[in-house]
Amino acid sequence: MNTGANRTGGHRVERIAEEIRIEVSLMLAGELKDPRLAGTVTITEVRVTPDLRTVRVYVSLADEDETERASTLAGLQAAKGYVRHELVERLQLRRAPEVLFILDQSEEIGDRIDQLLRNAKSPGK
C-alpha cells in the first residue's frame, strides 16, 4: 500500500522537475539580463529531491572556453535568488527550494570517448 504513495510522489517530483525546467528555460531566454548569461545556456536536466528542498539544474554551455564558462556559471550563481523566488511564485510551492546550477559535461565526455574509439580503430588498418 505504501508503494503506491511513493510512486505517486515520484510522479509529482518528475512533473515539478519538468515544470522547473520549463520555467528556468524561460527565465534564461529573456528575463535574466546579466551579460554573463549572453552565451548559449541549455538546460539538459533538472533533478529535484523527493522533499522538494533541492533542485539541481544541469546546464550545457555551448562553444565557450574556460574563462567564459566560469563567467557564465558565476552569472547563474548570481541569479539563484531570483530563480528561487520566481519558482515559488510561478509554481506555487510552499517552500523555496535551494537551486544548484551544475555544469553538464556529459556531451564533452561522450565526444572524447568517440574520439578515443576512432583513434583506437585507426592504427589497426
Q: What is the pLDDT of residue 81?
A: 93
Q: What is the pTM of this model?
A: 0.79
Q: What is the pLDDT of residue 2?
A: 45
| CATH architecture assignment, domain 2-124 | 2-Layer Sandwich (3.30)
Q: What is the pLDDT of residue 9?
A: 60
Contact indicator for 119, 111 with CB cutoff of 8 Å: no
Q: Where are the alpha helices (DSSP H) in the chain?
A: 2-26, 66-78, 80-91, 106-121
Note down pLDDT in tens along the chain; length 125 residues. Answer: 444 444 556 688 999 999 999 999 999 988 888 888 887 889 999 999 999 999 999 999 876 788 888 889 999 999 999 999 999 999 999 999 999 999 988 777 888 888 888 888 876 55
Q: What is the pLDDT of residue 121?
A: 81
Q: What is the pLDDT of residue 5?
A: 47
For the chain, the domains span: 2-124
CA pair distance 112, 105, nearest whole angstrom:
11
Q: Which residue has the cell 568517440?
A: 114
Q: What is the pLDDT of residue 68?
A: 86
Do β-strands 98-103 and 54-61 pair in parallel, antiparallel, or remain unpaired? parallel
